Amino acid sequence: MKPFTLLLLLLFGSITAQNSITGKIISEDQQPVPSAIISLLNTETSGFIKGELSDDLGNFQFKNIKNGSYMLMITSLGLKDYKSEAFVLSNNDKSFSNIIMLEDSAELDEVTIVAEKPMIEVRADKTIFNVAGTINAIGDSGFELLRKAPGIIIDNSDSIIVEGKTGVLFYIDGRPSVLRGSDLVNFLKTLQAADIESIEIITQPSSRYDAEGNAGIINIILKTDKSLGTNGTVASSLTIGDFARTSNSISFNNRNKKTSIYGTYNNFFGKSTGFINLNRTQNETNFNARTESVFDSNRNNIKLGFDYYANKKSTFGIIINGNFNNSNSESDSRTPITPSGANNPSEVLVAGSDSKNRTSNLFTNINYRFKDTLGHVLNIDLDYGKYDSERENLQPNRYFNGDETQVLSENIVFFDTPIDISIISGQIDYEQNFLKGILSLGVKYSKVNTENSFDAYDRTNGNNDLDESQSNDFNYDEQISAAYFNYSRKLDKLNLQFGLRMENTISDGQLESNQVNANNRVKRNYTNWFPSGGITYQMNQKNSLALIYSKRIQRPNYQSLNPFQYRIDELSFRQGNPFLQPQYTDNIKLSHTYNYRLTTSLSYSFISDFFAQVTEAVGDDQNFIIQRNVADQKIINLGISYPTKFNDWWRIYFSVNAYRSIYEATNPDFVSTRQNTLSLYAQNTFKLPKAITFEVSGWYSSPSVWGGTYETRSLGSLNLAFQKKFMDNKLTARLGFNDILFTSPWRGTTRFGDLFIDGNGGSDSRQIRFSATYNFGRNEIKKVRKRKTGIEAEKNRID
């Protein structure tokens, strides 16, 4: 027991007395004053010590304050400034009961707020990209907006890369995202930039967060938490590429003394195009596939939230999120098949694909939150989610002779592949002051059930005949139980934080089919421990250092475990891997921040059991795509971001990431590779006459490795945008031009075993966009509360 006591003293002990200052701010009519700015000043030096904001109930708290003589200065829009009497802390806490702030007699209608949020805010635990700081977000979707955020890259397969790593856990407004894979991309493409307040990049989450996500967390904060009273935003945009498409949104918030109701609706309608060319060499034969596609989408998202403020300490809330997608795609593919040494193809495969996809997602969260002035916080979340997908795909395949004058054979297939996923989750988080710091504890339980049906039909004379050799049902159940603790404390110029998270995973995947399959059932039961911690050192007012470590996990998406085949065309298909193991990542990061703007970071990550997307040969002419644990990956990343202002009419922002990826093969067919990659995003913003703003922006990525197998060439985009505000800044109009030089399409090569592919692809990324945004209602500071729910990681793994 003595060694344990000594350890506690070493970890938490301090020779400097630390005190706390608490209080509550109210108005003349006894209503709480939220978001007031409280400044703690030293009366002996008149120096600023620390600042805080009051919460929704008007409460505030300063922690870990040294002995000394102090005073408070409090400001809030529409209220007179408050200045307290001097008080002394000498090994004692100070509490202010009800600080009454008087109404300012000045006419608020005459006050114009001219301050702007910085584009980039760097904090100890995250980097914040404020969307309002860039006009080139005109008409952008939430997905396209990610490319502008510091340290984020979107590769040729729409995968999100953060500091050189894939595998990101998404939050939406502090809550879990709905999907992953193509469905997540579609959801983010429906969101408008006008609906997004900011994007938070958390590369080293603490033990309070789910351990899922190799590259950390991206939290998209929506503009749903505005002001007291009623207010909102209406936005619409028109994008013209090969086709025209539109997106629209409306968000609102209404709040009174006891309740708050808020919501958002947004949609996307229209067509887009894409192309992919895969020149494959296999068994001394060349397959030169050229595919063009047209996508027609109708996507709708809706969110409704309600909060009830029972008393000063307790709040109840409910959130309902719905995502509905009805999309069709038509693809035409032509594949000349040429034997090695021949000048002309021996035959040509002409294939098509007519797909219909209807998805419906509904997720509900019920929340209770307790918080008092003594630092006790209790948060309880109950979640239920339901995901339904109906997918139909018609694939006619016709083989012609080399001159395409005669049909050699024909095979028409039809696939019906519905998916049902249900998720339940419960989470309890508790926080209190402990040993001059803050101790957090929590538990979580989640259960996921997925039902996948894969019915393949041969179509003859318009009739569908079930092909039992290609059909199956795959059910997957997963339970995750988790518990964590986290402790943080401030010691003079040091901020210390450490924690440990335990997650136990029990899973059972079962395949039901008429074929004998050795992989028909895979059961697992494993427990992992995820430590995390960090030290932040405030060297002086302008310089700070941070050293942070975390261990994380990336579990396979549910559908990627299904061992059966998803046909792309007659010669190519996808196949799941029931033996795919999770991959684990150890991250360590050292960062320096100067003047709260210039951020430089150096990070190292080791990923064990990396699962790559590999293409393997089958027989003489077929190939399939599958995920396999084929290597260990090492990543060294240097990141720099800097927003600055040259003068009143010109400001610039740039973000650079230079990283080295090392893939060390653990599979004999996988080729070990190393790649240095440079990615950057930069923008110049100019204030022109007549209150017009002009912006030039662009991104660039040097040659890199995609999915562990594709070695891709450099790509980038140059964009221009103009902005003009009207009606006292309530109406904003924007005109933009994206990918002017059409340099964003990708090109790369891959080799696995005896198979070699030279591919390229892209979309109609060269576009003209027009958007208009109108803000209505009151413009006060009182906000609805933000909260996250307990269903984060599970929803992210729906593919």
Q: How far apart are CA 173 and CA 253, in angstroms?
A: 15
Contact 38, 54 (CB under 8 A): yes
Task: Supply 136's token pair.
Answer: 């080139």
Class of domain 18-108: mainly beta
pLDDT at 113 (0 to 100)? 38
Q: Which of these ranges, 69-83, 237-251, 289-303, 314-328, has the smallest mean pLDDT?
A: 69-83
Kindly report, as residue ranges, where domains of CATH 2.40.170.20 are found in the chain.
120-796
User: Residue 196's closest CA among 124, 154, 137, 252?
Assistant: 137
User: Residue 145's closest CA among 118, 115, 119, 116?
Assistant: 119
348 φ/ψ angles, rounded to the nearest 5 degrees: -135, 130
Neighbours of 260 (CB within 10 A): 23
Class of domain 120-796: mainly beta
Q: How far apart are CA 378 and CA 262, in angstroms?
A: 23
Judging by beta carbons within 10 Å of its beta carbon (0-12, 13-18, 19+), is residue 660 exposed, middle or buried? middle
Q: Which of these ranges, 176-180, 657-661, 733-737, has the smallest mean pLDDT?
A: 176-180
The single-letter code of the amino acid at 435 is: L
Contact 772, 236 (CB under 8 A): yes
Give residue 425's Cα distance to chain centre: 20
Q: How far apart are CA 607 and CA 204, in angstroms?
A: 15
Q: In whole angstroms, how far apart are CA 615 and each of 180, 626, 719?
A: 22, 6, 35
**Is beta strand 715-726 parallel, antiparallel or unpaired with respect to 692-701?**
antiparallel
Cα atoms found within 13 Å of the Cα of residue 21, Cβ hemisphere only:
24
| pLDDT band, very low/low/confident/very high, at 790 (cuts 50, 70, 90) | low
The residues, any chain, with a CB within 8 Å of residue 481's CB and separated by 6 or more, are 443, 444, 445, 503, 504
Judging by beta carbons within 10 Å of its beta carbon (0-12, 13-18, 19+), is residue 462 exposed, middle or buried? exposed
Q: Which of these ranges, 449-458, 730-739, 788-797, has the smallest mean pLDDT?
A: 788-797
What is the 8-class DSSP label of residue 257? S
User: Is it the case that residue 16 has pLDDT exceeding 50?
Assistant: no
pLDDT at 203 (0 to 100)? 83
pLDDT at 696 (0 to 100)? 93
Q: Which of these ranges, 84-93, 110-119, 248-257, 357-366, has the smallest mean pLDDT?
A: 110-119
Task: Supply 650's token pair.
Answer: 């010109």
Kindly report, as residue ranges, where domains of CATH 2.60.40.10 are found in the chain.
18-108
pTM of the model: 0.76
Q: Which of these ranges, 4-13, 15-24, 122-131, 484-493, has the smallest mean pLDDT?
A: 4-13
727-746 exposure pattern, b = at least 16 Cβ within 10 A, e = fewer = eeeeebebbbbbbeeebbbb
pLDDT tens profile 224-241: 554 567 888 898 999 999
Contact 230, 254 (CB under 8 A): yes
105 φ/ψ angles, rounded to the nearest 5 degrees: -75, -10
In 461-514, which ranges are continuous DSSP H helix?
Answer: none
pLDDT at 227 (0 to 100)? 55
User: Is it the case that residue 112 has pLDDT exceeding 70?
Assistant: no
